[in-house]
Structure 1
Amino acid sequence: MHVQKTFDRDLEIGAKLGAIIQDSGSRTQLIENPTEVLADVGVSADIAIFADTADMVHLVVPAKVDADRIAAGDEAYFEELGKAALGNCYYEDVPE
């Protein structure tokens, strides 16, 4: 049951963040005052906000990786790492 509650909370936070990011005014507030906006969403962590622009895209390097899975060529793990590095943003159909 704990896993499902955590998953539901993550989805709720993700939906709130998605709405903030899609609204230009809310997005600006998030970039300018992340601590306050994130607290309103329910996130209380020491994090940095880096907003991508047309000229700059940020890549997140995971804090830990599973060297055994990398050495084994685990493609599912590579996909997990890619999603983590891109903030879980991915396309179902890759744009051309």
Structure 2
Amino acid sequence: MAASDEEIECALAFELSRNHAWAQAVDVDDLVGDSNVLDEQRGRDVARDALPEREFIGYHPGKDQLWLKIPPADALAQFLRDNCGYGELQIEATLDSHFDGF
């Protein structure tokens, strides 16, 4: 069964947090490839259309790059927990010093 757009969005957002994309922007193609999204075209579409709607993600269409905005790491952590089903310990370990915890 194919992943839903929400599942793809979750995978992409979590991969951004794993890449510590606060320090630099990540190319959409690289992000999709690194997040193991099987349908890469849908992954690129979600990355370009859905992710920039989130308050914690920035997007530069001319460069086709995404990054995590600082702050709010809290919004990212809550999204990963509440919408994506990641555990609090996994989120805290991944966000490291950018998040004070739940």
TM-score (norm 1): 0.31
TM-score (norm 2): 0.29
Q: Which has the larger share of strand? A: 2
